Homo-oligomer: A and B are copies of this chain.
Amino acid sequence: MSTPLHLTVVGSAALDTIETPHGRADDALGGSALYLGAAGSLFAPTHIVAVVGEDFPQQSVEFLAGRGVDLGGLTIAKGPTFRWHGRYHNDMNRRDTLALDLGVFAGFNPQLPTAAAEAGILMLANIDPTLQENVLRQMVKPRLVAYDTMNHWITGSRAAVQSLLRKVDLVLLNDEELALLTGGPATIENAGTLLEMGPRFAVVKKGEHGAILFCKSEPPFLCPAFPVRRPVDPTGAGDTFAGGMLGYLAATGDFGTFSLRRAVVYGTLAASFAVEAFGMNRLQEITLDDVEERFRQFQAMVEF
């Protein structure tokens, strides 16, 4: 049993107002870095690098400290916290942004404390690729760098995105982002094209339809989603998936095919909890035992 690696996550911290067909939550804990931290810390020591405003209710992240998360990289800046207000359509596959206020996130310039910079795994959540490059330079000797981005940067900062793709190990993205990056409609062929652009591994996230892991010179891994009885709020599911996946990889320190596949399953399960309640409410409640129990349920749903 080797010592677990540490996981550093760099991204946003936000207060979300969320409307879904199942209700509404006001100023719910949100943002990619916090979802990543909430999921990753179920598995391994985690460092969060993000910025919040003076209005941020610090006690709302105390559950993270309780899990041993290092919040030394959570800066409190003058001004309001990043706020997002969104409303999901009836099928919850689409949503409209009703209001957006970047607040102090507009001036986010991530500085990694020593402990965060020395982590074995780095997750670059979706922020400006220039900042992502800066973060990468601050890392001492990461063994695995995971990367997320969005359409805005793929189309507006393509050269910066391509430069990052040559430096990272694992890319997490959806079908639409994959098509935009590689210029074709078919997931399987495009994934091959993406891996030629740099990364060793890619995970295509398909929400309620599961995920596919692509590795160079290996068959893909097809992972169905866990069937959630009553999904309430999909916000943060993708970041929670990444947090669960990378947390598991940090815990094992093993980046072989078998471990990567298991990591995708743990990401899937973490996300399945996240959507069961608004914001991070369900992620705050659960322990690793709950995830392991669901892992056994999942195994019983995929054997043949």
Q: Which A residues form the contact surface with B (CB < 8 A)?
A: 90-91, 185-189, 206, 209-210, 212, 219-225, 227-231, 258, 261-262, 264-265, 297, 300-304
Contact for A220 among B221, B227, B230, CB less than 8 A: B227
CB-CB nearest in chain B for A264: B304
Which listed residue, B212, B229, B231, B301, touches A222 by the CB 8 Å rule? Answer: B301
> Is the beta-carbon distance between B187 and A304 smaller than 8 angstroms?
no
Does the CB pair A230–B90 fall under 8 Å? no
CA distance A209 to B222 in the complex (A): 10
Q: Is the CB of A210 within 8 A of B212?
A: no
Q: Looking at the assembled complex, report how far the CB atom of A25 sits from the nearest CB atom of chain B, in whole angstroms.
A: 20
Q: Pick the 3 closest A-B CB pairs, nearest first.
A: A222-B224, A261-B304, A209-B209
Do the beta carbons of B219 and A300 come within 8 Å of each other?
Answer: yes
- Asked whether A212 lies within 8 Å of B185 as measured between CB atoms, the reply is no
Smallest CB–CB gap between A114 and chain B, Å?
36
CB-CB < 8 A to A206: which residues of B? 209
Output the nearest chain B residue to A218 by Cβ-Cβ distance: B300
Contact partner of A231 (CB less than 8 A), chosen from B186, B223, B224, B261, is: B186
- Cross-chain contact B210 with A301 (CB below 8 angstroms): no
Chain B residue contacts of A302, Cβ below 8 A: 221-222, 302
User: Which B residues lie within 8 Å of A91 (CB)?
Assistant: 185
**A224 partner residues in chain B, CB cutoff 8 A:** 210, 222-224
Name the contact of A304 in the complex, choosing from B219, B229, B262 (C-beta under 8 A): B262
Residues on B with C-beta less than 8 A from A222 are 210, 224-225, 227, 301-302
Contacts of A186 in B (CB 8 A): 229-231
A261: chain B residues at CB < 8 Å are 303-304
Determine the chain B residues whose CB is within 8 A of the CB of A258 once the complex forms. 304
How many angstroms between the C-alpha atoms of A96 and B299 in the bound complex?
Answer: 39
Check A301/B221 contact, CB under 8 A, given A90-B185, A185-B91, A206-B209.
Answer: yes
